[in-house]
């Protein structure tokens, strides 16, 4: 199921939760419209958080875990986070393209063999060391729906702790790599 979200981040004390480090997990790509307040950050290949500022007339495009899985990890999903705004309210509108919730990694890999074969390979230095693991690529989850639930609970820990305490406990103890 595709999703469009309207997000409001109220002005907060420094250090408050925005969105924790994660890779979007609904499907292939995210298209995000944001205001000029700032706070969205992306992990680059050297392991540094860099800001993804507002650029007039553009969307931010994130590679999601589905695309990472389809390409056998050759196109890693974008690791990103949002720092809660300290001086004003931030608004953003992400659109998440989706894949079927009951899709399995096994099926996806089989279906995508031909696509992956056509992608020119290149050496991607140390990328595994500076990224966070993908639920979609983990054998712990039977289908993408379950992987997605884990991703949402871990990316929004205050919500996870409050509404899904048992799952939050379970998922935060899990090591995916």
Ligand X SMILES: O=C(O)CCC(=O)C(=O)O
Chain residues binding ligand X by CB under 6 A are 7, 19, 24, 32, 34, 40, 80, 82, 92, 94
Which CB atom, from 70 or from 156, has the smaller least distance to ligand X?
A: 156
Give the residue among 22, 3, 142 at the shortest CA–CA distance from 77: 22
SS3 17: coil
Which CB atom, from 31 or from 71, has the smaller least distance to ligand X?
A: 31
Distances (CA, A) of 30 to 16, 89, 152: 24, 22, 15
Task: Note the residues at the interface with Fe ion (CB under 5 A).
Answer: 24
Q: How far apart, in whole angstroms, are the C-alpha atoms of residue 90 and residue 13?
A: 14
Give which of Fe ion, ligand X, none residue 154 binds (C-beta under 5 to 8 Å, depending on kind).
none
Which CB atom, from 24 or from 135, has the smaller least distance to Fe ion?
A: 24
Q: How far apart, in whole angstroms, are the C-alpha atoms of residue 48 and residue 176?
A: 22
Count H helices, E strands: the chain? 5, 9
Give which of ligand X, Fe ion, none residue 7 binds (C-beta under 5 to 8 Å, depending on kind).
ligand X
Q: How far is the CB of 85 from ligand X (least distance, A)?
A: 11
Give which of Fe ion, ligand X, none residue 82 binds (C-beta under 5 to 8 Å, depending on kind).
ligand X
Rg (CA), the chain: 16
Q: How far is the CB of 155 from ligand X (least distance, A)?
A: 6
Give which of Fe ion, ligand X, none residue 34 binds (C-beta under 5 to 8 Å, depending on kind).
ligand X
């Amino acid at each position: 199921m595709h999703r469009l979200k309207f997000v409001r981040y109220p002005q907060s004390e420094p250090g408050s939760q925005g969105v924790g480090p994660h890779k979007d997990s609904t499907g292939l790509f995210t298209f995000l419209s944001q205001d000029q307040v700032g706070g969205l950050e992306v992990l680059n290949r050297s392991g540094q958080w860099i800001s993804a500022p507002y650029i007039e007339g553009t969307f931010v495009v994130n590679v999601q875990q589905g695309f990472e899985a389809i390409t056998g990890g050759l196109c890693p999903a974008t690791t990103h986070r949002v720092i809660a705004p300290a001086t004003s309210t931030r608004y953003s509108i992400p659109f998440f393209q989706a894949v079927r919730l009951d899709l399995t990694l096994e099926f996806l890999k089989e279906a995508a063999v031909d696509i992956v074969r056509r992608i020119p390979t290149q050496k991607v230095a140390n990328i595994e060391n500076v990224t966070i693991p993908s639920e979609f690529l983990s054998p712990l989850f039977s289908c993408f729906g379950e992987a997605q639930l884990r991703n949402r609970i871990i990316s929004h820990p205050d919500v996870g702790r409050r509404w899904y305490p048992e799952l939050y406990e379970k998922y935060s103890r899990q090591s995916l790599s």
